Structure 1
Amino acid sequence: MILHIIERAAWPAGEVRAPSLDTEGFVHCSDPGTVHLPANRLFRGRTDLLLLEIDPAKVGVPVRWEPGSPPIPDGPWFPHVYGPVPAAAVVAAHDFPPGADGFFTLPSALAQR
């Protein structure tokens, strides 16, 4: 599974079309071990987020593992989805609140797997 951070108000929809699809050509995603990195860099302290759990076999478009955007020297690679993510590929939506310090960690429902 791969993960995508989305505003609660934007879900559910027929598909996930992040602004990066138009500007960079792909939807940014993460895996369970890296999702905290973009969450803390881009969304620190926000309380209106969901974490979508996506089955990459169901997206119907290429999923490529590539350096982050912007790249981090010797940093992790992330799954980039080269097209909209259909709602049928989303297998679960998890509340994604930050901790008391404003930082994000993987929700316990995903960490226990």
Structure 2
Amino acid sequence: MSKIYKILPKAEWDAARAAGTFAGSAVDLADGFIHFSGHDTAQRTAELYFKDQSDLMLLTVEADDLGEALKWEASRGGALFPHLFRDLRVDEVVAERALDLDADGVPVLGGLTA
């Protein structure tokens, strides 16, 4: 099994938990899929897109549980990123945790596993 990761505002995750599904953040909705990162790309995603944002959550999902709706596609620098072409069910999230920011305002993800 391989884990994939989603960074999102806590308010969006709270709303998704109440609804039972997460349709995506604004960028996901605009692109037509939910953006995830692998263990090797998540910290760079945090640096590029979430700097100086507080109240963030990190979700962990088992990629193998998402079936054919999950596609690995080339993106930033040719790296493969997991994209989910359907809503994420809350019960598919295997772990969640709040993120702190480092002295430069970058979310600290810590050691992520594949």
Q: TM-score range by the shorter chain?
A: 0.7 to 0.9
1:45 is the counterpart of 2:52? yes
Q: Higher helix proportion, which one?
A: 2
Runs of at least 4 residues off by over 4 Å: none
Partner of 2:95: 92
Q: Distance in 2 between matches of 1:20 and 1:60?
A: 22
Q: Does the alignment pair 1:81 with 2:84?
A: yes
**Counterpart for residue 21 of structure 2:** 15
Kindly tell me: are residues 60 and 88 of structure 1, through their superposed partners in 2, closer, same or farther at Cα, counting changes over 3 Å?
farther
Coordinate RMSD, CA, aligned: 2.1
Question: Structure 2 CA distance, aligned partners of 1:87 and 1:60?
Answer: 15
Q: Number of matched residues? A: 107
8 Å CA contact retained: 1:21, 1:82: no
Match of 1:5 in 2: 7
Say whether the 8 Å CA contact 1:21–1:83 is kept in structure 2: no
Shift of residue 61, structure 1, vs aligned partner: 5.1
TM-score computed with the length of structure 1 as normaliser: 0.80
Percent of matched pairs sharing the same residue: 29
Note the residue ranges of structure 2 that are not aligned, 5 or more in a row: none
Letter in 2 for 1:39: A
What TM-score, normalized by structure 2, do the two folds share? 0.80
State the shift of 1:16 in Å.
1.6
SS in 1 for 2:60: strand
Change (3 A) 1:29 1:62: same
